[in-house]
Amino acid sequence: MSNRRTFLAGGLAAAAMGPVSSVAQEASSQVPPPVKGGSRSTHPIALSTYSLWRFRNDELRDLDRCIDLADEFGFDGIEFLLYQIGQNELISRSRMMAYKRRAQRLGLTIVGLSTHQSFVTPDAEKRRFNIDRTIAQIEIAADLGIPVIRVNTGTWGTSKDFDELMARRGIEPPIEGYTEEDAYPWVIEAFEACLPTAERLGVVLGLENHWGLGLTPEGILRIINAVDSPWLQVTTDTGNFLEDPYDRLAKLAPHTVLVQAKTYFGGGQWYTLDLDYPRIGRILAEHGYRGWISLEFEGMEDWRTAIPKSLALLRSSFPRQPA
């Protein structure tokens, strides 16, 4: 049995229901019908633990503390950054289930798992390693009841670090002897290898407009359309298009299954974008997106004041549209 299989739960138990008594039937007939369309006034808003992890503070990197803070600030859910729960290492299943139990007790939905992988390499062995890594991540998400994981194409790795990549505005030269045209088949085949597990476990892969081949909406859509599966869609990050964001976000909106919303109070760590969130809300509504918005705070202001301000901004910008 491979290491990644240790992340999986056992079987699912079926629940049997007995006949409904006449008293229960009578009581149910007196319950008024639900309000059509539900009563939620805004999109549900989650806190991505990345918002806290990036401060490199031991307290804020503790996932239990992040869960508690999401509740204290008034978020509806939480998105986990996989680095915080031991990426690519065997962690006890009971520890993972403890995170799930804690969130459940506080009434927080775990809406996403933000993962990392890279398929942009001519080395087939490295691609296979990253395929296995991604399959293990899918299994972790299924164990935790998470419906969407954030995935990336990866990058060429010709930047010495992320700071240099950001200084280049996400544009990175391919390794010598190759072009981006060589990389698309690698990425497409890798995601196709992950899809049987995603479909079997009911976890959608949300390809983020990140860096590498995900730098443009055209790159993202080329991969999505080539794979052509409902189990590979888009995680839309509002802060990763550094030019013409609104037209680009509109191109991804029809395939969006999760939105990661960047805010920059106090100025951004790598760059600052002045995003018109009500406009982004309208773009998503035009394409029928009514799902989760996950805050990724990337500013330099103290998190104690910036995260509540960010939540207020998102609450006001994403009213729930009627079906």
Assess whether pLDDT exceeds 90 at residue 309.
yes
Do the domain assignments include residue 25? no
Task: Look at residue 160 in the predicted model and tell me its pLDDT.
Answer: 74
Q: What is the 3-state secondary structure (H, E, C) of the chain?
A: CCHHHHHCCCCCCCCCCCCCCHHHHHHHHCCCCCCCCCCCCECCEEEECHHHHCCCCHHHHCHHHHHHHHHHHCCCEEEEEHHHHCCCCCCCHHHHHHHHHHHHHCCCEEEEEECCCCCCCCCHHHHHHHHHHHHHHHHHHHHHCCCEEEECCCCCCCCCCHHHHHHCCCCCCCCCCCCHHHHHHHHHHHHHHHHHHHHHHCCEEEEECCCHHHCCHHHHHHHHHHHCCCCEEEEEECCCCCCCHHHHHHHHHHHEEEEEEEECCCCECCCCCCCCHHHHHHHHHHCCCCCCEEEEECECCCHHHHHHHHHHHHHHHCECCCC
Of 49-58, 62-71, 189-198, 295-304, which gets the smallest average pLDDT? 49-58
Number of structural domains found in the chain = 1
Tell me the mean pLDDT in the region 164-175. Answer: 79
Rounded Cα–Cα distance for residues 21 and 23 (Å): 5
Least confident of 11-20, 21-30, 188-197: 11-20
Confidence (pLDDT) at 10: 31
Q: CA 100, CA 262: separation in Å to the nearest integer?
A: 25
More confident call, 162 vs 75: 75
- pLDDT score of 251 more than 90: yes
Is the model's pLDDT at 38 over the cut of 90? no
- Confidence band for 161, pLDDT divided at 50, 70 and 90: confident
The whole-number pLDDT of residue 86 equals 63
Q: What is the pLDDT of residue 92?
A: 78
pLDDT tens across 65-96, in order?
999 999 999 999 999 999 887 644 456 788 88
Residue range(s) defining the domain that contains residue 191 = 40-317
Q: How confident is the model at residue 132 (pLDDT cuts 50, 70, 90)?
A: very high
**pLDDT value at residue 269:** 85
**Where residue 170 sits, what CATH number does that domain have?**
3.20.20.150
Q: Confirm whether 13 is domain-assigned.
A: no
Task: Give the chain's mean pLDDT.
Answer: 86
Confidence of residue 200 (pLDDT cuts 50, 70, 90): very high
In this structure, is residue 26 part of a structural domain?
Answer: no
Is 142 among the domain residues?
yes
* Residue 322 confidence class, pLDDT cut points 50, 70, 90: low
Supply the pTM of this predicted model. 0.84
* Rounded Cα distance, 38 and 256, in Å: 22
pLDDT at position 14 is: 32
**Per the domain annotation, does 186 fall within a domain?**
yes
- Residue 280 belongs to a domain: yes
Band the pLDDT of 37: cuts 50, 70, 90.
very low
User: Which pLDDT value is given to residue 323?
Assistant: 56
Tell me if 71 is assigned to some domain: yes
Most confident of 9-18, 56-65, 182-191: 182-191
Task: Flag whether 27 is in a domain.
Answer: no
